[in-house]
Structure 1
């Protein structure tokens, strides 16, 4: 018994020693960025020109656009960015911190509750990147240890080819007979932002809404990109979802809406630089670049900055009806409540089934042709030039039609159909139904 008491005291002292209270520092140790992007760029090159970033998401290629834009803007820099579910990234960050073996420079995650904890542990680097003062106050730590870098939000997403006048606006619209067997939704017990969406809906409409939703026989899937992928597919019977984010200006055949009476989830995807990051200047360059007006204007969504104009046809994120982007972080902080809600849904629909969305082999929604072709073994050129290629079918199947194609969309449809047929004939359970 005495030994256990000693161990408990030792653990207590260890925890106390690793805690960190920045209050009495009065921000004297916070670096305020005064350099231009090009000046930070030169400092980053002197570090070796490479940085490692862990980014929350559910498709490996989701941040290819950021990598391409960053490396094009700063020649000689290499952005090694790994996308995985934020709830898995944070555990691995914890292990690096605990073992004093940090090799990640920057983390950009959905798990907003992690950042105050890491700050209290002294694990983050305080830094005010260019544009920090223009970030909405609710999106940034007052001591500049972490801050929102861009906005993500769910929307009602539907395939216009499958719907006539039944455009879903409110969450009660999804209970209409025409959506029977045509909904595909992310497991709420597998993604906290989706869980929060269900929490908001059921607080408004009650448990009866969820019972009625189950009668609609929705397909439950892992990952928030998967529903939009299935809804978009010409081979799919699914017409709509409300657990995906495809931007505010989707391409045909998809379209979006937001509820007028109900609430939809938005939040600032939050980033921080680890205190022991091996490439701090490179991480500073990335964060300053992401917050730059040039990049904020290119995201196709709302900005975390109050001096960047909102997307055409929309008010600013703080004035957008039907959403409060500050509430998700508050909700995430109550981990006991989140856990109870997660298990509530698990008892109703079961645990999340299937492979991780990062390895399930479903083609991503709105794929770049180059990425999709390479993913499924088709040679391709770059960009839209690929439509002129005569694709040899490595699967050995006979295509439904022969390339080349008249439009970019036709080439996408061809690759998607070819992939589906290959998976179907091989017996893959992941083939799109």
Structure 2
């Protein structure tokens, strides 16, 4: 039974130095600079060498599986969107349980009771378009006026995108998906790219990949 962390930051820092003063993180994400806020915060602890490697979770988890099989595990810590991987790795006995300070305050649905993993963030995906313009709801994305004006992450590119598309299919039916497919959608890699590629101007829509409940 792992107890919740009681050591202070100074003691944890000293222990980290004794263990080699390096930390390698496999960070799930879209672009290399996505975790810059973490890197910026870490600059105050410059005697710990931090390496954060960003890639899609679906690539990181395969790398980790191969490294485990070959005995060449690289990351000390990994945070992935594919949360089911952590349950699988726990069953394999390859995760080191840890309960940070405040672990008891985390809702049960966001942590493993044994400290094998815990959530570091919860993200919502919402339908987006420019102010005062755009479809009234996701259902209206198939209206003729939005042909050629939709930017989206490809649904096969990321599980975060596939889930909203499935939600739309459940809400509106596959006939809606067929109509949407004929809307000359511009697809980009990564879930953040639609917003970066198009800060919507009047008459354009935002990303279909960020979705609310049926509406």
TM-score by length of 1: 0.46
Query: Which residue does the alignment assign to 1:170?
Result: 137
Query: Which residue does the alignment assign to 2:29?
Result: 57
* 1:131 has 2:98 as partner: no
Kept in 2, the 8 Å contact 1:159–1:232? The answer is yes
Counterpart CA distance in 2 for 1:261 and 1:203 is 9
Counterpart CA distance in 1 for 2:130 and 2:141 is 14
* 1:242 has 2:214 as partner: no
Residues 191-210 of structure 1 mapped to structure 2, 5 A cutoff: 191-210=158-177
Residues 111-122 of structure 1 mapped to structure 2, 5 A cutoff: 111-122=82-93
Residues 26-175 of structure 1 mapped to structure 2, 5 A cutoff: 28=1, 30-72=2-44, 74-160=45-131, 165-168=132-135, 170-175=137-142
Counterpart CA distance in 2 for 1:243 and 1:37 is 40
SS in 2 for 1:188: coil
Kept in 2, the 8 Å contact 1:183–1:238? The answer is yes
RMSD, aligned CA? 2.1
**1:3-36, Cα deviation, whole Å (9 max, x unpaired):** xxxxxxxxxxxxxxxxxxxxxxxxx2x2420112
Deviation at 1:233, TM superposition (A): 7.7
List 4+ stretches of structure 1 deviating above 6 A.
none
Q: Return 5+ residue gaps in structure 1 as ranges.
A: 1-27, 245-257, 263-433
Kept in 2, the 8 Å contact 1:169–1:260? The answer is no
**1:142-190, Cα deviation, whole Å (9 max, x unpaired):** 2110111111222223234xxxx33445311323343221101111112
* 1:230 has 2:197 as partner: yes
Change (3 A) 1:69 1:242: farther
Residues 412-427 of structure 1 mapped to structure 2, 5 A cutoff: none
Change (3 A) 1:168 1:66: farther
SS in 2 for 1:81: strand
* 1:182 has 2:154 as partner: no
Count of residue pairs the alignment pairs up: 214
Deviation at 1:260, TM superposition (A): 5.8
Counterpart CA distance in 1 for 2:41 and 2:146 is 39
SS in 2 for 1:243: coil
Kept in 2, the 8 Å contact 1:57–1:86? The answer is yes
Counterpart CA distance in 2 for 1:131 and 1:204 is 38
Change (3 A) 1:117 1:159: same
